[in-house]
Amino acid sequence: MIEISAVLIASSACIVLMLGAIHLFYTFVGRKLHPRDAELKTRLAQAPLMLTQETNMWQAWLGFNASHSVGALLFGALYGYLALMQSDLLFQSDFLLVLGLITLTGYVFLAKCYWFRIPFRGFSLAFVLYGSAIICECI
Over the stretch 107-137, which tens digit does the pLDDT of each residue have?
A: 999 999 999 999 999 999 999 999 999 999 8
Give the mean pLDDT of 32-38. Answer: 92
The answer to whether residues 37 and 29 touch, using CB atoms and an 8 Å cutoff, is no
Angle at 109 between CA 29 and CA 75, to 5 degrees: 55
pLDDT single digits (tens) 58-109: 999 999 999 999 999 999 999 999 999 999 999 999 999 999 999 999 999 9
Q: Helices in 1-139 by DSSP H: which ranges?
A: 4-28, 38-46, 57-85, 87-91, 94-114, 117-138
Give the mean pLDDT of 2-12. Answer: 95
pLDDT at res. 2 = 78
In angstroms, the Cα distances linking 78 to 58, 65, 121 are 30, 20, 21
The answer to whether residues 87 and 36 touch, using CB atoms and an 8 Å cutoff, is no
pLDDT at res. 138 = 84
For 69, phi then psi, to 5°, come to: -65, -40
d(CA 57, CA 5): 43
pTM for the predicted model, two decimal places: 0.92
Range of the structural domain that residue 132 is part of: 4-138
Number of domains in the chain: 1
The answer to whether residues 55 and 48 touch, using CB atoms and an 8 Å cutoff, is yes
